[in-house]
């Protein structure tokens, strides 16, 4: 899968499929960045990547699963 996707490739996709495609792009991009950076930069960027991935992961979990992952998360409804 190329990172240079045209907008037309996303047209008509259901929301879940669209988010899966964006996740693939995110993972591929992070992987390519990891190989192109020296160790010092990777160490500095790791917390940012971790937060982005964790945000996407939490967004996909149910509220109960979120509480199991991090009991400090307050549920707001």
pLDDT tens-digit map of 54-74:
766 655 555 666 667 665 555
pTM equals 0.44
Q: State how far the Cα of 33 lies from the Cα of 30, in Å rounded to an integer.
A: 5
**Residue 28, number of CB atoms within 10 A of its CB:** 13
Q: Shortest CA distance to 2 belongs to which of 31, 34, 29? A: 29
pLDDT tens-digit map of 15-60:
888 878 887 887 787 777 777 777 777 777 777 777 777 766 655 5
């Amino acid at each position: 899968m190329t990172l240079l996707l045209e907008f037309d490739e996303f047209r008509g996709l259901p929301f879940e499929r669209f988010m899966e495609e964006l996740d693939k792009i995110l993972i591929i991009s992070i992987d390519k960045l990891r190989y192109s950076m020296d160790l010092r930069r990777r160490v500095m960027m790791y917390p940012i990547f971790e937060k982005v991935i964790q945000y996407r992961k939490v967004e996909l979990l149910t509220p109960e699963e979120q509480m199991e992952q991090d009991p400090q998360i307050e549920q707001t409804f």
